[in-house]
Chains A and B, each alone.
Chain A
């Protein structure tokens, strides 16, 4: 059971790290604002989300696990809103120039 939990956590956290890596690579390598934004949102949502999922079975109390989920929801929600605002800015500056 413990080995299974460890395996699950390692896999989920590892996957989360891969999404963070993808976000950074995209942010640096992608050609323009909107595509970079696309890469960033993956790191925000899936990267942190998978890390939180991996941490849930390891957390020391139910309260801590609940807080982890709230943290992810906050980052997710803010990320989606910021993405909308950034996309508007990117579009209007493209039109303006």
Chain B
């Protein structure tokens, strides 16, 4: 079964890697973000497949950390885009200017 799980890991990684074309091509920032999020989920899937295949507990902990921190990075990227979109829509003063 371990071999079959390694095969599955290779396939998932290859699929997520094809999705990276969207990081390269864009065209919008949202597209790039979505592709990296797919790679994040794909990496977590690869790690859990390898973890169960080899019975390594440490790999599950790495997958756990990756799931948490990839989520954090995605949220930060998406929030930044949302912030910029809101700022552009309202055309208010730029955030980060010191209060006078």
Tell me whether chain A's interface is mostly helix, strand or loop, or mixed. Answer: helix
B31 touches A33 (CB 8 A): yes
Question: CA–CA, A18 to B65, complex, Å?
Answer: 25
B89 touches A96 (CB 8 A): yes
Question: CA–CA, A53 to B64, complex, Å?
Answer: 16
What is the number of contacts between chain A and chain B, taking CB atoms within 8 Å?
152
Known: A85-B75, A89-B81. A74 touches B16 (CB 8 A): no
**Residue in contact with B44 in the complex, picked from A10, A13, A48, A88, CB distance below 8 Å:** A48
12 more A-B contacts (CB under 8 A) besides A24-B15, A27-B35, A85-B81? A17-B8, A28-B21, A47-B41, A58-B5, A59-B52, A60-B55, A74-B67, A74-B71, A75-B71, A82-B78, A86-B81, A96-B89
A64 touches B30 (CB 8 A): no
* Chain B window 1-45, contacts with chain A (Cβ cutoff 8 Å), 1 for yes, 0 for no: 100110010011001101101100000101101110110111011
A6 touches B41 (CB 8 A): no
